[in-house]
Structures are given as structure tokens and as C-alpha cells.
A and B are shown apart, each in its own frame.
Chain A
Amino acid sequence: MKSLLLPPHPKERRIVFKNAWTKGYTPDIDCYIKEGGYEELKKAIGMKPVEIIDEVKKSNLRGRGGAAFPCGVKWGFIRHDDGKPHYITCNGDESEPGTFKDRYILHNDPHQLIEGMAIAAFALNVHLAYIYIRCEFPKAAGIVTKAIEEAKAMGFLGKNILGSGFDLEIFVHQGAGAYICGEETSLIESIEGKRPYPRIKPPYFPAVLGLYMSPTIVNNVETFCHVKQIFKLGSEEYAKMGTPGDGGTRVMCVSGDVMRPGPYEIPVGGVTMGELINDVCGGLKPGRTLKAIIPGGSSSKIMRAGEVYKIKVKGPDGEMIDKEVPLLDLPMDAASLAAAGTMIGSGGVIVMDDSRSMLWALNNLNTFYAHESCGQCTPCREGVLWIDKMTTRMVNGEGIAQDPITLKNVADNIAGRTVCAFGEAASWPVQSFLQKFPEEFQVPAK
């Protein structure tokens, strides 16, 4: 990844990405320890579990996997001494189109993840944890497995960690090429060795009935790395980097039609969309203008160049006030993107310029969802295939006049009627592309 070999852009602040891109840094434990590795685990083991969870709550860390759920709140659902076994499963499935950040942590800085998980395990009374890594990262599985062995040999994992009497085993579990396994209950079924059909919520919230029907915390790879950084910086310092309720830094992965695509770690809300694309990523290709942005992974609703959104910002007296902002002035944080009718999701920003057909782009995504539906719910299983067939024939010039209406109708009848959020993930692109670019979906009457 070329952009990461450049010195960080002034808007970047590499915290979870610090080691991964330091020249000469390797995934070996010696390198990690030289950079202060496992010091935060030592601190955490001297604390009470509730104090650890409180720190994470105070940090305002939100999950980096897609839903931006407050991490400390999630951990708070676990009752420390309920007598049940508890588990952690780290989500390293990284399959949301447009997202490419966990891969660099897994390949370049595995110990940071392991330390974050060990801190979490101590806080949550967990003695067995799995790191779910998609099998398309075969080298990462080897690197992380080796890192686990190194950590064990030095007493950071295994029995009686650092003499505390606390035990933790971590194992790597490889996926097998299915996007749906990134959905947390599907991931759990996959670790259980079953067909990874997502479970219905309620009642199967992982924190209640997760792995082996026991309380389980699922967090993204990047999320666990932030946990380590919260203890390094202190929760207050960490929270301060972000916006109210959304702390720290976040890796924004920019791809598509920009000069310098790449994953950029930036304080939450620390850049606007325009700064991200034009400053950090060097702008569009010469002679091109912006057409559309998918801001948070392929499932997030598309944004059209020139749109203006009403969001909440801090006013002169510190109060939150309404403000109209154009797309390029939108701050990159979860709340602002939600107010703009889309989401920050997994941080995958896909930029498209004026040379691109929105019909073609939507069709590409529809093929993805048609390929990846697990097939458990009828509206999703059937609907995504219909949608894909319709846009395919439209791309081939064989569409019929009602196609745009039927497309919307099918999408509207998937969203909200399925077991898992894949239904929404597949419908939102269709609904938003049609709404924002209606002129590109008209089929001339024959």
C-alpha cells in the first residue's frame, strides 16, 4: 500500500497504525515490546474489571466494525460473575467492500490486537477467545498464530498471566470466503462449525446468548487495538481527540477515483469529507469532477456531489445547534454522517468521478449482494437475485420501463423483513442510488 509509505499527512494521527508503518518494524514481539508493548496489559491487570470497563466507557470508543456501537456500553452488558463462561470473538473477517484497515494490523502489528484482547478478556472474565480471520488473509493467520505463541512464551497469554492468576487462551479461526461471516451472529455460528446462518435478535444478542450460547463480546480488530491505546493515552486524552460521544481516531479507507487512495488514521471528526478527499488523498484524477461518494462501506447510502445536509454542530456557547453543510464540509464522524442520512459504517469511502455510470456501479454492488446472501430469509435470498438480474439487464440495454419502480419495490420489501442487517445492507444501495441519481435509471420506452 503505497500511500502508507509516505510520511503521515498533517491531518493524520497514527496511533493504532503507528507501528504498522514504522520503517523496520516487524510483527515480532521484540519489536512490539521495544515500542512499549504489553505495558497497558500490565496496568490493566492491576485494575478492577469494572474500572477497566469504565475507562473504555469514558473514552467514548465506538466500534469500528460497522455499527459504531459504544464499546464500553457493549462490555457493560456482561455480568462479571454470573457463573457462565464468557467468550470474546474478534471480528477479522474484513469483507465490507471498500474497507481495508484490519488487514494491515493483522499482518504488521498483531501484538497490538492481542494486547487489546487480553485487556478486554481480563475485564470481562473471559478465558477463551477466538480471532476470526478471513481465509483470504492466509499469511495473516500464520503471523497472528505465531504472535500468540510468542505472547504465551512471555507470559502475556496462557496460564497465570503475569503472575495474576488470570488465564487466557486465544486461537485463530479462519473463515472460508463468505461475507456473511462478518455479521456477528453468523461469525459465531461459523466458529461453532455450522452453516453460518445469522441468528435472530432478540433473543440471540451475543452478549446474552453468543458463542456456545454463552455471553460473548464481538469486536472488530481495530476496536481492540483502540482499547490498548485508551490505556496508553488515558481515556480522557483519548476521548478528546474525537467528537462528543465518538472518541479517538478512526481509520478512513479511501478508494476509487482519487489520486492517493489508502487507509488514513484521523481523529474522529478531524477532517471534513472535502479535506479527506482533496487534501489527504490528493484530490480527483486530473480533469475530473466529483460525482458520488459511498462513505462507509458498500452498504452505506450513496451521497451525491453538491448535496447539502442539515447536521448538528457545536455552537458558540458549546450547545449543539442545527447547521446546513454541503457534502464536502461534512465532518467525518458517526453522528454527522447519520444526520446526513447515511453512515460512517466501516470507514470505507468509495469515491466516483464524473466518468462513472451509477447504473454500472450499482449493478456491481448488486452482484456482490446476490453472491453473498446466506439464503436463510426469503426476501433477501430471492430479492437480491432479482435486483441483480434487473440491473444486469439494464446495463445490457435490455431493461424495461418499469424496472426502476420494480427495483425500488423489491428493495423496500427486503429491508426490515430479514433475520440480519444484510437485508438493509443490500437494499440501501438500491434505494439510495435510485433516489439520488434517478436520471441514470430511466429506461427509454421501446
Chain B
Amino acid sequence: MDKHVALTSVSEQANQIPADLLLRIDEAVTHYPVSKRSASLPLLHLWQNQFGFIDDSGVNWIAKRLELEPINILELVTFYPWFRQQAAGKVCIRVCRTLSCALAGSFEVRDAFCKAVGIDPKAESHGHTPPVSPDGKFSVEFVECLASCGSAPVALINDDLAEDITPEGTAAILSQYN
């Protein structure tokens, strides 16, 4: 893709900032009276919550807002597993991969989620860009310990924690998001 074109496109996120997002950004910056740079993580969260991922225009916009270089923001986007540079599903299913959940069957649970939404269970799913279902609705990925090992296996589905999941139970969980 031609970068120059991308930088001036109206479809860029930075051209679509709603007023309430601006207000929330201004509020977040006030939480860091010692250093504005500290607001970079909260701004990235607000941005991703709004747009689903962070494009180049977002990186540039946040850098400018905090008087930083774009690389100061981009290096956070690429470091932190939570941040995405491409859209994931509208419903993000994050299945815990780590030991206590694996002991309780989280690999089977992940496969069941994949199959139920039409994702190939063999797809690599442990990175910044998880596989997305053909209808764009769901993404399924593995994440590391969600600090709920006592009710393993667990998954974070958007903001909700699903606990004690069984492969058979995945369909009922998904139906809540239809």
C-alpha cells in the first residue's frame, strides 16, 4: 500500500474522532500531572476501544497530542500484546492458554470456539493479529494466564469472563453475543 496515500485518506481514524473521545482523552491526560508521556497507554486504550485497532494516523495523532515522536507510541503498540494494528472480531474471544487452564482442557475449549465460529483450529492464534471468523464477527486467540486459574478453563470475551468452560458449553456462551 502507498504510504503517502494512506496518510491523507479520509478513512483514517484520526479524521473520525468523535467529540466524546476527545473529552475522554483530555480527562485521561489530567491523570498524569508529572508527565504527559504517561498518558500514552490510556490514550492507546481509548483509541483501540473506539476504533477496534490503532492505525498509523492514530499513532501519529496520539504522539502529537502528547508532544512525542510517533516511534514513542508505535513501539508501545508493537510491544504490548493487547494492542492491534488490524481489526480483530467485534467479539474478541481470549482463551487462557497457561498451565492451570490447559490442565482443565483449555486447548479443547479453544478448538471448540474456533469450530463454532468457522475458524480453522490450526490457525496461529497467539499474537497481535488473531484469526477472525469469515463474517468478521468473532476472533479467537490464546492469551496467557488470566488470573482466574481456580475456575479453569476461562476465557475473556470482550469485557466478560467466562469460567469453568467446557467444549460443549461454548455454543451457549456464543449465543449471548449473537
**A residues with CB within 8 A of B:** 1-3, 85, 94-100, 102-103, 128, 134-139, 171, 173-179, 190-196, 212, 253-257, 261-263, 294, 298, 348, 350, 352, 356, 361, 364-365, 367-368, 371-372, 374
Contacts and interface: CB of A to CB of B under 8 A. Distances in A.
Contact of A173 (B42, B99, B103, B145): B42
B147 A134 contact: yes
Given A173-B31, A371-B144, 10 more contacts: A94-B147, A138-B159, A176-B80, A194-B37, A195-B75, A196-B79, A255-B150, A263-B150, A298-B145, A352-B103
B85 interface: no
B110 interface: no
Q: Most A CB atoms within 10 A — which of B80, B102, B150?
A: B150
A308 B92 CA distance: 46
Given A1-B151, A177-B81, A356-B103, A193 B41 contact: yes
Given A97-B100, A372-B144, A174 B42 contact: yes
Contacts of A136: 94, 143, 146-147, 156
B66 to A, nearest CB: 8
A299 B75 CA distance: 28
B144 A97 contact: yes
A177 B45 CA distance: 11
Contact of B102 (A171, A261, A364): A364
Give me the 6 closest cross-chain CB pairs, A-B, nearest first: A177-B82, A176-B80, A255-B149, A193-B40, A255-B100, A177-B81
A291 to B, nearest CB: 12
Nearest to A352: B103
Contact of B144 (A85, A95, A173, A196): A95
Interface of B: 31-35, 37-42, 44-45, 66, 72, 75-76, 79-83, 94, 97-100, 102-103, 126, 143-152, 156, 159, 163-164
Given A138-B159, A179-B144, A3 B150 contact: yes
Contacts of A134: 147
A97 B42 contact: no
B35 A1 contact: no
25 contacts: A1-B148, A3-B150, A95-B144, A95-B147, A97-B149, A136-B156, A176-B41, A176-B76, A176-B81, A176-B82, A176-B83, A177-B83, A178-B80, A192-B35, A193-B66, A212-B35, A254-B150, A257-B103, A261-B152, A262-B150, A298-B98, A364-B98, A364-B99, A365-B99, A371-B81
Contacts of A364: 97-99, 102
A269 B83 CA distance: 42
